[in-house]
Amino acid sequence: MKTIKGPAVFLAQFLDDQPPFNTLDNICKWASQLGYKGVQIPTWDKRCFDLKKAAESKTYTDEIKGTVEQHGMSVTELSTHLQGQLVAVHPSFDTMFDTFAPKELHGHPAERQKWAVDQIKMAAKASQNLGLKVHATFPGALAWPFVYPWPQRPAGLVEEAFKELARRWMPILDVFEECGVDLCYEVHAGEDIHDGVTFERFLEATANHNRAKLLFDPSHFILQQMDYLEFIDIYHEYIRMFHVKDAEYNPTGRSGVYGGYQSWADRPGRFRSLGDGQVDFTGIFSKLSQYGYDGWAVMEWECCIKSPEQGAREGAPFIQSHIIEVTKKAFDDFAGGESNDQLNRRILGLS
């Protein structure tokens, strides 16, 4: 067993043009004062990180590490969630996902996808330069418009979608293999990898690629009404990253899992700040500690009610209170005795 590292915070939802959220130095000072010990950095936001420089220059990544470490923190991971989404986009979502790419690529899905692939490959190099062993991303989606089986899906449609998804990701996964970094896909609605079954489909399509791993975020399991504790039992060997995010699901006679096209505040399933939702974090931290999860607990703030500032203030002590200092001894050692083969055989009545 291992003690989970943390608390850390994902910077994506906090970056802003106003201080203290406008530079890596400023936001690290702010996060450190709140009690965070690590930061997960979004690679698409140049207010805090230049991905191209990080992929090409060890000097630059050393500067990034120095900026973070001077505030008593570590870089936990890099993220390419937005770029990963663009590796596989069904045409029905092209216009909405254009905002994830540079303006000159809007309306050009093939060029946009090539840009996204190059971005994630650079992130593998950047992670290597930073000395990181894991990386966060989304897989994108080709089959998501067909998630509900009506109209009836033609035979082989889902299989073909995952073959194509794997075809697009295999060259990226190979770069991560070269760099010695695990690529962790966040199980998330809107992605073709949105539960355990779809992750298994992807693994099969990639011939169980050595670098295909998981980012575990229990909030997405609440919204899908999945057993997130059993998910850890089943897939703990693949879980390399952990987003600490809360959520709640309160169905009514008017709306349920699908949400009725309502805003986040009105949906039965919605994300909440830590401690305000229904996630059993005591159970999660226990299971991850039991299985030897060797990574960070990273708060991702997404809440339609509470302010990000309050969510951040409350997040660090919440995570810290759930981190288990794993035991180095058995609780009943005081009642034990010496052991040897001869004694054991005698106890068993064998000699």
Q: How far is 338 from 324, CA to CA, in rounded Å?
A: 29
pTM as predicted:
0.96
Host domain of residue 148: 5-347
- What pLDDT, on a 0 to 100 scale, did the predictor assign at position 339? 81
On the question of pLDDT at 56 being above 90, the answer is yes
- What pLDDT, on a 0 to 100 scale, did the predictor assign at position 328? 86
- More confident position, 335 or 103: 103
On the question of pLDDT at 197 being above 80, the answer is yes
On the question of pLDDT at 336 being above 90, the answer is no
Q: How far is 345 from 330, CA to CA, in rounded Å?
A: 23
CATH code of the domain containing 119: 3.20.20.150
* Across 324-336, average pLDDT: 83
Task: Determine phi and psi for 270, rounding to 5 degrees.
Answer: -150, 155
The count of domains in the chain is 1
Task: Determine phi and psi for 266, rounding to 5 degrees.
Answer: -105, -5
* Across 11-15, average pLDDT: 98
Confidence of residue 337 (pLDDT cuts 50, 70, 90): confident
- What pLDDT, on a 0 to 100 scale, did the predictor assign at position 238? 98
The pLDDT tens digits of the residues spanning 253-303 come to: 999 999 999 999 999 999 999 999 999 999 999 999 999 999 999 999 999
DSSP one-letter string for 90-150: -GGGHHHHGGGS-GGGTT-HHHHHHHHHHHHHHHHHHHHHHT--EEEE---BSSGGGSS--
